[in-house]
Amino acid sequence: MGLFNTFQEWKANKYEEKIAKMESKGICPDCYGKGINSLALNEFYVTNVFDCPGCNGSGLFSDWYENNQ
């Protein structure tokens, strides 16, 4: 189980680094500040562009933080 725990800790640390980086830039970590997400069925066909559920389409970290409290 040591290897599994090590992997989980690494994954949590990478997520925290990502959140800190996005906070310093002021952009939403889910959509990278674009405000939209799209469902890509394959590399040639993209459908269903929708507002980011994390930031409600604003692309701002502050909105993402409020929604994820």
pLDDT band at 13 (very low <50, low <70, confident <90, very high): very high
| pLDDT at residue number 26 | 93
- pLDDT for res 1: 65
pLDDT at residue 50, as a whole number: 82
How is residue 64 written in tokens? Answer: 């993402």
> For 21-60, how does the pLDDT look when each residue is reduced to its tens digit (9 = 90+)?
999 999 999 898 888 887 776 667 667 778 888 898 899 9
In this predicted structure, the answer to whether residue 9 has a pLDDT above a threshold of 80 is yes
